[in-house]
Amino acid sequence: MINATRGEEFAYRTVPERLDPTRRDSSLWGYHFEPEGAGTRVTHYYSLVQPPEPWLLTLYGILMPHHRDARPALRHTLEQLKAADEAP
């Protein structure tokens, strides 16, 4: 976990794994929250700290095409963040 400030930001970094060659990359993921009207504007961001091997990117694109369009997964994440925020 990099940062978790309720109502402001939630960020984490994936950690590379030495033994599995498909998990040697590392990325920083985060969500920034700003009040907007009666709701909240959520800004998602990420950056590759240590990119995966180029051949893996090609393989991921072939075997897991859903990785090219993360919108469904992001929608799910936003729904989960909303539920967590509204929980007592």
E strand segments, 22-79: 26-36, 39-50
Share of the chain above pLDDT 90, in %: 20
Q: How many helices (H) and strands (E) does the chain have?
A: 2, 4
- Report the C-alpha dihedral over residues 30, 43, 25, 61, rounded to 10 degrees: 150
Give the residue with greater pLDDT, 19 vs 1.
19
**How many domains is the chain built from?**
1
> How many Å apart are CA 66 and CA 7, to the nearest integer?
30
Check residue 1 and give its pLDDT. 67
Kindly report, residue by residue over 16-46, the tens digit of the pLDDT. Answer: 888 877 777 888 999 999 999 998 899 989 8
Could you tell me the two tokens for 47?
A: 């950056």
Domain range for 57 is 3-86
